[in-house]
C-alpha cells in the first residue's frame, strides 16, 4: 500500500513525467540519429568500395582488350595479379567472370583457386550481366556468422558487356561501429536522464512544496484546525493560489466559528427547552430529537433516528406524513393507560425553501397531562360545588316555601323547619369556608407560621379535646412515644389536619369501635397514623379520598354534615409542611390515615 501511495504522489508523478518526456525525446532523436548514421556509414562504405570496383573494372578491361603475344603472360595470370593487388582488409574475395561463357577467370581468394575456369551459378552475377546493372545484397556469412556485402557489377567495353566483377566485402565493421556508437549514446542518455531526474526533483519541489503545504492545511482544516497558514513562495500562479487558500482558510474559520456558535446556541436552546422538539427530513424520517422529546416518548435518541415520525408518534394508522405537512391544528396524542394518564399535544411546522420545496417537518410536543387533569378537576369541582350547594338550597327552599304557605303558624312543625334551615345554612357556611381556605392555600402568597413544638404533647392534647367532645361509643387507644419529639410546624394548620382526620375516624367507626393513634420516628421524618375500625375503603377508590368533594359513603357524610373537603384540606396543609399523606385500608376492617412531617433528631440538652 505504501508503494501505491508513493506512486500517487504528485511529486513523483511530476518527476516521472518529466524524465519520461526527456527519455522519449532522446529516444526519438537517438533512433533517427542512429538510423541516419547507419545509413550514412553503410552508404559511404558501399560507395567507397564501388569506386574501387570501378577502378578495378577499368584495369581489367584494359587487360582483356590488350593484344597478347606468346611471350606475354596469360589473361588469367594478369587478372590474378590485379585481383591480388586489389585485395584489402575489408574485402574478403573478388572474382572476375566472363560474360560469354560465365566462366570464372580469376579470384583473389587463394583458397578458391580451384573455381577458376568453372562456370558460375550465382543468380546475382547472371542478373547483373543480363540487366547490365549492379546487383547487391547484405548477407550473413555461414562460416563466420558476420554480415557481408555481396556486389555483382557488369564490366563494359563500350556498350558491350564483356564480364562481371563479383565482390564480397566485410560490412560487419560498419555495424560494429554502430554498436559502439549505440553504447556511447546509451551511456550519454543514462547520464542525461540522471541529471534530468535530479533537476526534475529540484524543479518538482518548487511546484509541489506549496501544493503539499496546501494538502496539509486542507487535512488540518478537515480536522477543525484553521490556525495553520500556507507559506507563499513566490508571486506566480501557485503563489497566488496559496494566498487565495489562506484567505479561504480565514473565511472558513470565521464561518465555522459562527456556525459553531449558532449550533451551540441551538443545542443549548433545545437542551433546556421543556417542550419536546423533533425534526425530520423531507421523507419524514427523524433527524433530530432533543432530550425532553425522548423522555416524553420514552425512547432513546439512537434508536429513533431515521425512524418515520408517524411511527414514532403512533400515528401510522390514522395519519400519513403528507397529512402532517398539511395539518394546521395541533394533534392530541393520548398515551394513557389504566394505571396512568398521559397526554401530549403536538404542533407541526413545515420547513420550506423560498422556492416552496419542502425540506422537512418540525414537531413540538407539550405535556398537557397536568393541564388536562386540572381541567377535568375544574369541571368536576364546578359540578361538585353546584351539586353540594343545590341540595341544601333545594331543601331550604322547600321548607321556606312551606313556612311561607302558613306552616309558620303551626307551633310543632315551624320550629323543626327552621332548625333544618339553620342546619343546612351552617353546612353551606362550612363548605364556603372550606372552599375559601382551599383557595387561600392554592394562592402563591400562602404562608405558614411555624414554631418548634413537642409533637407528642401537641398530639396528646388534641386527642384529649376530641375524646371529651365525642358523643359516640368509640374508644381511643394511644401508642405515643414516652419522650419528646420536637418538630417545626404551624400549630393552627396541623390542629385542623388532625381534627379533620380524627373526626372522619370517629364518624366512620361503628358503635363500640376503637380509634388508634400512633407516632413512629424515622431517620429524617416522623409518621403520624390514625386508624379506625370502620367500613374501610374499596381498593380502587383508595387514591381518591384526598380529592375534593370525594365521599366513600355520601349519604352518611351528608347526614353528619360533612362537606367532602376535609381530607383535601389536610393534604394541602401537610404538603405545605413538606410532608406527604396517604391511606391504607382493608374493606370491612377499617382505614389507616398516615402523614409524615420533616424531623431532625436533637440531643435532650439542646432543648434544656
Give SS3 for 122: coil
Angstrom distance (rounded) from CA 50 to CA 57: 10
Does the pLDDT of residue 323 top 90, yes or no? no
Angstrom distance (rounded) from CA 509 to CA 477: 13
pLDDT average, residue stretch 309-331: 84
Alpha helices of 107-171 — where are they, by DSSP H? 123-131
CB-CB neighbours of 384 under 10 Å: 17
Angstrom distance (rounded) from CA 504 to CA 534: 10
The DSSP code for 194 is H
Does the pLDDT of residue 167 top 90, yes or no? no
Does the pLDDT of residue 9 top 50, yes or no? yes
Query: Which residues are CB-neighbours of 239 under 8 A, at least 6 positions away?
Result: 210, 232, 233
Angstrom distance (rounded) from CA 132 to CA 129: 5
Angstrom distance (rounded) from CA 408 to CA 402: 8
According to the per-residue pLDDT averaged within each range, which of 5-19, 20-34, 429-443, 447-461 is highest? Answer: 447-461
The DSSP code for 605 is G
pLDDT average, residue stretch 71-93: 76
> How much is the pLDDT for 528?
92
pLDDT average, residue stretch 146-155: 87
> How much is the pLDDT for 444?
53
Please state, for a pLDDT cut of 90, what percent of the chain lies above it: 6
Judge contact between 185 and 30, C-beta under 8 A.
yes
> How much is the pLDDT for 454?
92
pLDDT average, residue stretch 23-33: 82
CB-CB neighbours of 203 under 10 Å: 14
> How much is the pLDDT for 595?
92
Query: Which residues are CB-neighbours of 173 under 8 A, at least 6 positions away?
Result: 45, 90
H/E segment holding residue 553: none
Judge contact between 500 and 567, C-beta under 8 A.
yes
Residues 412-457 have pLDDT tens digits of 777 877 877 777 777 777 667 766 666 666 555 557 788 999 999 9
Cut 0.85: pTM above it: no
Using 50, 70 and 90 to split pLDDT, how confident is the model at 517?
A: very high
pLDDT average, residue stretch 276-299: 87
Angstrom distance (rounded) from CA 157 to CA 607: 164
Strand 514-521 versus strand 475-479 pairing type: parallel
**80 vs 162: which has the higher pLDDT:** 162
The pLDDT mean for the chain works out to 80
Judge contact between 585 and 592, C-beta under 8 A.
yes
Judge contact between 568 and 551, C-beta under 8 A.
no
| pLDDT-wise least confident of 357-371, 394-408, 578-592 | 394-408
How far is CA 101 from its chain centroid?
102
Does the pLDDT of residue 202 top 70, yes or no? yes
Between the two ends of the chain, the Cα-to-Cα distance in Å is: 88
> How much is the pLDDT for 356?
73
CB-CB neighbours of 111 under 10 Å: 8
Q: Give all domains of the chain, ordered by start, each with its CATH number.
A: 10-177 (3.30.450.20), 273-367 (3.30.450.20), 373-442 (1.10.287.130), 451-606 (3.30.565.10)
pLDDT average, residue stretch 66-88: 73
Using 50, 70 and 90 to split pLDDT, how confident is the model at 2?
A: very low
Does the pLDDT of residue 390 top 80, yes or no? no
Judge contact between 99 and 152, C-beta under 8 A.
no
Burial of 267 (0-12, 13-18, 19+ CB in 10 A): exposed
| Residue in 50, 52, 51, 37 with CA at minimum distance from that of residue 175 | 37
The DSSP code for 235 is S
Judge contact between 278 and 309, C-beta under 8 A.
yes
Does the pLDDT of residue 558 top 50, yes or no? no
The DSSP code for 113 is G
CA-CA distances (angstroms) from residue 325 to 240, 361, 362?
A: 50, 7, 10
Radius of gyration of the chain (CA): 64
Q: Report the alpha-carbon angle 257-259-261, nearest 5.
A: 65
| pLDDT-wise least confident of 41-55, 191-205, 478-492 | 191-205
Amino acid at each position: 500500500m505504501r508503494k501505491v501511495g508513493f506512486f500517487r504522489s504528485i511529486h513523483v508523478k511530476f518527476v516521472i513525467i518529466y524524465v519520461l518526456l526527456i527519455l522519449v525525446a532522446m529516444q526519438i532523436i537517438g533512433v533517427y540519429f542512429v538510423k541516419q548514421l547507419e545509413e550514412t556509414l553503410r552508404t559511404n562504405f558501399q560507395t567507397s568500395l564501388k569506386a574501387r570496383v570501378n577502378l578495378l573494372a577499368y584495369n581489367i578491361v584494359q587487360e582483356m582488350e590488350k593484344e597478347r603475344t606468346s611471350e606475354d603472360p596469360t589473361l588469367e595470370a594478369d587478372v590474378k595479379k590485379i585481383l591480388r593487388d586489389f585485395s584489402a582488409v575489408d574485402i574478403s574475395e573478388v572474382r572476375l567472370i566472363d560474360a560469354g561463357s560465365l566462366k570464372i577467370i580469376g579470384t583473389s581468394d587463394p583458397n578458391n583457386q580451384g573455381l577458376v575456369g568453372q562456370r558460375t551459378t550465382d543468380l546475382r552475377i547472371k542478373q547483373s550481366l543480363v540487366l547490365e546493372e549492379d546487383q547487391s545484397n547484405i548477407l550473413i556469412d555461414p562460416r563466420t556468422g558476420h554480415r557481408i556485402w555481396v556486389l555483382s557489377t557488369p564490366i563494359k567495353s563500350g556498350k558491350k558487356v564483356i564480364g562481371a566483377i563479383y565482390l564480397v566485402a566485410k560490412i560487419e565493421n560498419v555495424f560494429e561501429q554502430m554498436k559502439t556508437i549505440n553504447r556511447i549514446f546509451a551511456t550519454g542518455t543514462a547520464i542525461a536522464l540522471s541529471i534530468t531526474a535530479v533537476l526534475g526533483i529540484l524543479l518538482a519541489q518548487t511546484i509541489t512544496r506549496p501544493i503539499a503545504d496546501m494538502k496539509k492545511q486542507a487535512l488540518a482544516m478537515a480536522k477543525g484546525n484553521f490556525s495553520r497558514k500556507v507559506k507563499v513562495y513566490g508571486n506566480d500562479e501557485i503563489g497566488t493560489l496559496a494566498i487565495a487558500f489562506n484567505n479561504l482558510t480565514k473565511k472558513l474559520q470565521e464561518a465555522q466559528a459562527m456556525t459553531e456558535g449558532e449550533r451551540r446556541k441551538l443545542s443549548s436552546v433545545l437542551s433546556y427547552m421543556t417542550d419536546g422538539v423533533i425534526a425530520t427530513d423531507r421523507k419524514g424520517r427523524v433527524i433530530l430529537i432533543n432530550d425532553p422529546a425522548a423522555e416524553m416518548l420514552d425512547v432513546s435518541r439512537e434508536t429513533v433516528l431515521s425512524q418515520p415520525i408517524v411511527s414514532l408518534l403512533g400515528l401510522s394508522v390514522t395519519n400519513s406524513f403528507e397529512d402532517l405537512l398539511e395539518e394546521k391544528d395541533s394533534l392530541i396524542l393520548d398515551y394513557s393507560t389504566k394505571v396512568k394518564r398521559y397526554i401530549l399535544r403536538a404542533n407541526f411546522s413545515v420547513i420550506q425553501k423560498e422556492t416552496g420545496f419542502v425540506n422537512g417537518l418540525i414537531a413540538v410536543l407539550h405535556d398537557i397531562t397536568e393541564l388536562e387533569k386540572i381541567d377535568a378537576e375544574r369541571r368536576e369541582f364546578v359540578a361538585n360545588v353546584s351539586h353540594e350547594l343545590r341540595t341544601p338550597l333545594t331543601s331550604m327552599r322547600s321548607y321556606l316555601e312551606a313556612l311561607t304557605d302558613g306552616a309558620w303558624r303551626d307551633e310543632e312543625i315551624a320550629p323543626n323547619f327552621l332548625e333544618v334551615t339553620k342546619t343546612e345554612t351552617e353546612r353551606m357556611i362550612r363548605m364556603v369556608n372550606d372552599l375559601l381556605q382551599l383557595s387561600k392555600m392554592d394562592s402563591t402568597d400562602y404562608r405558614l407560621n411555624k414554631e418548634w413544638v413537642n409533637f407528642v404533647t401537641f398530639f396528646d392534647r388534641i386527642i384529649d379535646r376530641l375524646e371529651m367532645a365525642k358523643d359516640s361509643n368509640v374508644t381511643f387507644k394511644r401508642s405515643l412515644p414516652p419522650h419528646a419529639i420536637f418538630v417545626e410546624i404551624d400549630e393552627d394548620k396541623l390542629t385542623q389536619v388532625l381534627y379533620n382526620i380524627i373526626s372522619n375516624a370517629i364518624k366512620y367507626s361503628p358503635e363500640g369501635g376503637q380509634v388508634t393513634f400512633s407516632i413512629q420516628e424515622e431517620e429524617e421524618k416522623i409518621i403520624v397514623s390514625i386508624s379506625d375500625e370502620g367500613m374501610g375503603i374499596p381498593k380502587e377508590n383508595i387514591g381518591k379520598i384526598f380529592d375534593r368533594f370525594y365521599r366513600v359513603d355520601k349519604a352518611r357524610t351528608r347526614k353528619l354534615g360533612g362537606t367532602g373537603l376535609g381530607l383535601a384540606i389536610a393534604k394541602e396543609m401537610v404538603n405545605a409542611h413538606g410532608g406527604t399523606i396517604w391511606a391504607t385500608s382493608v374493606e370491612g376492617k377499617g382505614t389507616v390515615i398516615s402523614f409524615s412531617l420533616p424531623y431532625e433528631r436533637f440531643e435532650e440538652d439542646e432543648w434544656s
